[in-house]
Amino acid sequence: MLALLRTIDMALSIYWWFIIGAAIFSWLYAFNVVNPRNQFVGAIGNFLYRVTEPALRPIRSVLPDLGGIDISPIILLLIIFFVQQLLWTTIAPALL
């Protein structure tokens, strides 16, 4: 059972970095730091969008309009942190 908890924790940690990467990429894209016509850059952006958007879209639909500021990645990172802490402080001790 511990192996399953560690695998879930690892998957959440990897997804954490995908969210951070998508946020940084969106800033780089918005400020024209990266070339949007580059095929490699487009592939990375498309991948990050497809991986993170299904989790971010429901959060964005609940949040009020903040005038162009998107805090949904921060909310999702807090949710992931909460789930990881719940795994190790509540679920893992109960199973062991």
Q: Work out the percent of the chain whose per-residue pLDDT is above 70.
A: 100
Q: Which domain holds residue 43?
A: 6-95
Query: 74 falls in which pLDDT band (50, 70, 90)?
Result: very high
> For residue 47, is it within any domain?
yes
- Total number of domains in the chain: 1
Q: Is a pLDDT exceeding 90 seen at residue 14?
A: yes
Q: What is the mean pLDDT of the chain?
A: 94
Global pTM?
Answer: 0.90
Q: What is the pLDDT of residue 56?
A: 96
> For residue 74, is it within any domain?
yes
Cα–Cα separations (whole angstroms), residue 39 to 2, 23, 35, 96? 42, 19, 9, 49
CB atoms within 10 A of CB 81: 12
Residue 79 near residue 11, CB atoms below 8 Å: no
**Single-letter amino acid code for the residue at 53:** E
**Single-letter amino acid code for the residue at 51:** V
Q: Is a pLDDT exceeding 90 seen at residue 1?
A: no
> For residue 1, is it within any domain?
no
